[in-house]
């Protein structure tokens, strides 16, 4: 090995992923030109291919790594919370907070599922399902314990996630309300929505 791992190339790759996420977020995956991406990173278009094999592979890398981080962070946020109500609060606080601070990745992961190859899409959908199942299990536990009013598990799961994910479509860091206030507002609405 003539090169130290994690040196020049890794930094370039990170820059590509960051700029790629931003450009996809702003223009959509199909509308993002690799020429533009290369320009933002400061390399020639062809040099991008030292770091990914195809534009599609870059999208998959961005989306998959986001979904994996999302699930990992969620599990960390749920640690130590046992009671369904506590777990629901932890979930809602984590989800709404995470979607404020990483709204570009979140938006890309949600809106560009359609641009993924069938195979890649299937992999990402699996990760999404695993994430949603965390909420579903919390809702089930709360309902079975008579604490939550949940008429339909699947629908409620989707509805709560949609409600909070919507944040990333309008949130601006410099906005009227602080992140903490927004989190609190959403946690409260989630709790009320399931009658907790």
> Which residues lie near DNA (CB under 7 A)?
1-4, 7-10, 12, 32-36, 42-51, 53-56
Nearer to a second copy, 5 or 79 (CB): 5
CB of 54 to DNA, least distance (A): 3
CB 148 within 8 A of CB 139: yes
How far is the C-alpha of 123 from the C-alpha of 139, rounded, in Å? Answer: 25
72 vs 192, which CB is nearer to a second copy?
192
Which C-beta is closer to a second copy: that of 50 or that of 101?
50
Q: What is the DSSP string of 55-90?
A: HHHHHHHHHHHHHHHHHHHHHHHHTT--SHHHHHHH
Q: How far is CA 38 from CA 33, 45, 46, 49, 51, in A?
A: 9, 5, 8, 10, 12
Residue 69 contact among DNA, a second copy, none, beta carbon within 5 to 8 Å by kind? none
Helices marked H in 28-52: 34-41
Query: Which of residues 10, 68, 144, 169 is near a second copy by CB under 8 A?
Result: 169
Q: Which does 149 bind (CB under 5 to 8 A by kind): a second copy, DNA, none?
A: a second copy
Whose CA is closest to 112, among 15, 20, 18?
20
Partner whose footprint covers residue 65, from DNA, a second copy, none (CB < 5 to 8 Å by kind): none
Contact footprint for a second copy (CB under 8 A): 26-31, 111, 114-115, 149, 151-152, 154-156, 158-167, 169-170, 176-177, 182, 185-186, 188-189, 192-195
């Amino acid at each position: 090995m003539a090169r130290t791992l994690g040196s020049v190339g890794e930094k370039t790759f990170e820059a590509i992923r960051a700029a790629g996420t931003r450009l996809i977020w702003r223009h959509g995956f199909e509308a993002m030109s690799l020429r533009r991406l290369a320009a933002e990173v400061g390399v020639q278009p062809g040099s991008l291919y030292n770091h990914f094999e195809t534009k599609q592979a870059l999208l998959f890398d961005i989306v998959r790594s986001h979904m994996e981080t999302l699930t990992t962070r969620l599990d960390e946020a749920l640690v130590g919370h046992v009671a369904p109500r506590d777990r629901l609060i932890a979930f809602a606080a984590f989800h709404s907070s995470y979607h404020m601070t990483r709204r570009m990745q979140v938006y890309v992961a949600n809106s560009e599922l359609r641009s993924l190859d069938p195979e890649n899409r299937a992999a990402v959908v699996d990760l999404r399902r695993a994430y949603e199942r965390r909420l579903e299990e919390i809702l089930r536990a709360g309902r079975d314990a008579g604490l939550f009013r949940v008429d339909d598990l699947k629908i409620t799961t989707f509805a709560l996630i949609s409600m909070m994910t919507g944040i990333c479509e309008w949130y601006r860091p410099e906005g009227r309300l602080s992140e903490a206030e927004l989190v609190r507002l959403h946690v409260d609405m989630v709790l009320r929505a399931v009658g907790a």
